[in-house]
Structures are given as structure tokens and as C-alpha cells.
Amino acid sequence: MQASNMDIIRLTLDTLTDSIFEQMVDIEANCGIFSYPPDVLRECIRIGDTYACMDDETVAGFITVDPAATDYFDTSLHIVNVNVATAYRRQGLAQMMIRTVCGYYANSHAGLMVTLDVEKTNVPARSLYEKLGFVASDMSSENGPTDLVMVVALEQLIA
């Protein structure tokens, strides 16, 4: 199925089903880089804004953002996690999720920056983020020296 034909739903602990959560845990475990354990994923859903991209009953990918981040700027929209199931990779799904979900915050976060941390060795992710307009910053990542902080103006990202 084309990424543009998939539904993006907001997840909360009240609406999170066991099936969706198990799929998210499996996607996270197969991300190939650093993966969050299930308790951290559940905490992200509890405190952040997490959205799942659904292909019928299948989680094709998910994204978590922190709309009140103060990690690198006074206020920013911080992308905490983006993951796509193996079968859905290389189809533009991550790009679509990032643009769509960040677009949800266009009014409340107008004029602000979107930030994310990415492992320096994760070349495919860095290439995707650069394609979306993110640039490497000189800020130190809270995740340590193996990560790079990338930034883009929200308006540029959703244009």
C-alpha cells in the first residue's frame, strides 16, 4: 500500500491496544541501531505525542514527538523516535510521517525549530533528514558524543 493511503492515528495509553503495542515493540527491536525497550516505548506514549501509521490493522511505522521540548532551544518540537517496519521501508513512509505529524503543530509551534538526535553512524536516517531540510548543528546531543543534533525550521519542513 502507498504511504499516502495509510491512516495516522494518535496513540494514548487509554487507546493503545495490545496488538498495536506488540507490533511497535517488534518494529523497535528490528530497527537495526539502538532500540528502546518496551517500558521506554510505553513511557514515550504516556508523556509524548505518539502516532502510528496504520495499514489496515498493521502498524507500518510510528513517530513520537515532544511538543514542549526545551532540550536545545527555549521551545521546540523535538522528534523523539521515528521507526518504520522492515516491510514498509524505502517507500517514503518516514518522510510522510515526519511531515504530516509536524504539520499537526504548525499553528501552535509557528516560527519554532524542529529538532532530533540521530546516531552519527546511521547514514540512511541522516540522509533522510537532510533530504527533509534538517542540518547538523554544533549543539551537543543529550544522548552523548555518538549522536548528532539536527534542526530545521518547522515552516520549511512542512512547506
Q: Are the C-beta atoms of 69 and 75 separated by less than 8 Å?
A: yes
pLDDT at 146 over 80: yes
> How much is the pLDDT for 69?
83
- What is the average pLDDT across 113-131? 93
Q: Which residue has the higher pLDDT, 60 or 35?
A: 60
Task: Give the global pTM.
Answer: 0.90
Instruction: Map grid coordinates 495499514 to a residue.
Output: 55
What is the distance, to the nearest Å, from the Cα of residue 53 to the centroid of all Cα atoms in its chain?
A: 11
Dump pLDDT digits (tens) for 11-27.
Answer: 999 889 999 999 999 99
Q: pLDDT tens digits, residue range 71-90?
A: 777 778 999 999 999 999 99
Phi-psi region of 100 (alpha: psi -120 to 50; beta: other; left: phi over 0): alpha
The pLDDT, as a whole number, for residue 155 is 93
Check residue 53 and give its pLDDT: 95
Q: If pLDDT is split at 50, 70 and 90, which confidence band does 46 have?
A: confident
Task: Indicate the CATH number of 3-158 among 3.40.630.30, 3.40.50.2000, 3.40.50.300, 3.20.20.210.
Answer: 3.40.630.30
64 near 32, Cβ under 8 Å? no
Q: DSSP code of 86?
A: G
List residues bridging with 83 in a β-sheet: 62
Mean pLDDT of all residues belonging to the chain: 90
Q: What is the pLDDT of residue 115?
A: 94
User: Per-domain residue ranges for the chain?
Assistant: 3-158
d(CA 144, CA 79) in angstroms, rounded, equals 17
